[in-house]
Amino acid sequence: MRFFTGNSSSPARRQRATTLVELLITASLMVVVLGGVVYSHLMGGKLMQFAAAKLGASDSAREAFGKLQDEIRAATTIQVGDGTASIFVPATNGAALQGRAVQIFPTTNQSWWIRYYYQTNTGELRRVTSSNATPQVIASFVTNAVIFAKEDYLGNTLTADSGNSAVNVRLQFYQLTYPVTKVGTNNYYEYFQLQSRITRRILQ
């Protein structure tokens, strides 16, 4: 008759401890997985910000050009030059018909006008009318002073007024709103510009 005492090598009784190597491998895998999750989250947030900036830029474009385009297309007379909320000086024939302001006459009544002008100290494109002298901000963070120009069908700036000319509107920005997005080095855009050439519906 044989008697057996407990044997630590028996499969039924064996208890195996985690080794240091296994612990390090597990920790490394966990770090890699968590790092991937965090990276994906950060990239997703950055992508959302980029998409929001794109959508905000589109909204700014529609806001800045929507009413201006409609008013130029429906105008009877358009003048470009220099101006503020209280005064407008049209560009003279013989010089380039361009400037930081445009004055739009919806009818043949010259006392009824709409004026868009660039406010240099604030970087804003503003709008006033003959019936409402309170400026309305159309676009902010604008950098270029020459915004409006009368051009021929080839895109050349005119030096003599013509009823068949198109109005080139160009806005260059250093920052966008909704959401606030910087334009420049290490930001979403190296350069951001809105441009449109608008022609009156009724040409002379």
Higher pLDDT, 7 or 134: 134
pLDDT at 28: 86
> Within the chain, how many helices (H) and strands (E) appear?
1, 12
Q: What is the mean pLDDT of residues 117-140?
A: 92
| b/e sequence 13-50, b meaning 16+ C-beta within 10 Å | eeeeeeeeeeeeeeeeeeeeeeeeeeeeeeeeeeeeee
The two tokens of residue 77 are 């007379």
User: Is residue 130 over pLDDT 80?
Assistant: yes
The two tokens of residue 69 are 């385009």
Q: Phi and psi of 128, rounded to 5°?
A: -135, 160
pLDDT at 181: 62
Q: What is the mean pLDDT of residues 176-202?
A: 70
User: Is residue 1 over pLDDT 80?
Assistant: no
pLDDT at 4: 47
pLDDT at 67: 87
Higher pLDDT, 48 or 54: 48
d(CA 29, CA 9): 31
pLDDT at 140: 82
Q: Give the tens place of pLDDT for each residue, 84-124.
A: 999 999 998 889 999 999 999 999 999 999 999 999 999 89
Contact 121, 84 (CB under 8 A): no
pLDDT at 88: 97
Q: Give the tens place of pLDDT for each residue, 39-50.
A: 887 777 666 766
pLDDT at 32: 87
